[in-house]
Amino acid sequence: MDAVEEVVGEDFGDARLPGQDWRRRHYTKCHFRDADLSGLRTESVIFTDCDFTGADLSESQHVGTAFRSCSFTRATLWHSMFRHCSFLGSEFDGCRLRPMAVEECDFTLASLGGADLRDLDFTDCRFREANLVRTDLRGAVLRAADLLGARTGGAKLGGADLRGAHVDAHLWTAASLDGAQIELTQAIAYAAAHGLVVEPT
């Protein structure tokens, strides 16, 4: 197996690197501000404390890649694909994210407050203790997603598919849920969160 290439503290700001193919690399505290990374392909790459402010990651593809505590302020990620990736502790602020393909990704402790995630498919994704305050998830698919501990005050989940999702009672009262799809057990939890008593007939 090839050795992992370590890159620490490098500044790739304003770099033009479209269509690159990166494998088995570890970038730590690197800066990609306003870099052109469109069409980038990564596999088993780890980014730790990296800054992607203003970076163009459109039409990029990532498999088994981890973005740990990274900043994506005003980054462009639309038409990108992430499969089995981790965004542990990363922050998304003012990003262009739709459309985007996500498959079994981990957003634990990530900050997505106010993000526009309408109609995206997050089946089997993890959002444990993530910041989803005022996040727009209308029409999103969150089947079997893990939302335990997530902050969901003011989140918009109208028309979302929450069947099989793992959620806290707080979500049922803090988020807007008009037209959301839920299962019977979730309906009972919703009723209980709103102070209703469900009795068997």
Q: What confidence score (pLDDT) does residue 198 get?
A: 75
The token duo for 110 is 């990530």
Q: What confidence score (pLDDT) does residue 124 get?
A: 98
Instruction: Quick: pLDDT tens for 125-156.
Output: 999 999 999 999 999 999 999 999 999 999 99
CB 189 within 8 A of CB 170: no
Q: What confidence score (pLDDT) does residue 10 get?
A: 97
pLDDT beneath 50, residues of the chain: none
Residue 184: which H helix or E strand, with range?
helix 184-193
Residue 191 has what DSSP assignment?
H
CA dist., res. 169 & res. 171, Å (int): 5
CA dist., res. 167 & res. 183, Å (int): 12
Q: What confidence score (pLDDT) does residue 196 get?
A: 86
Q: What confidence score (pLDDT) does residue 2 get?
A: 67
Q: What confidence score (pLDDT) does residue 199 get?
A: 78
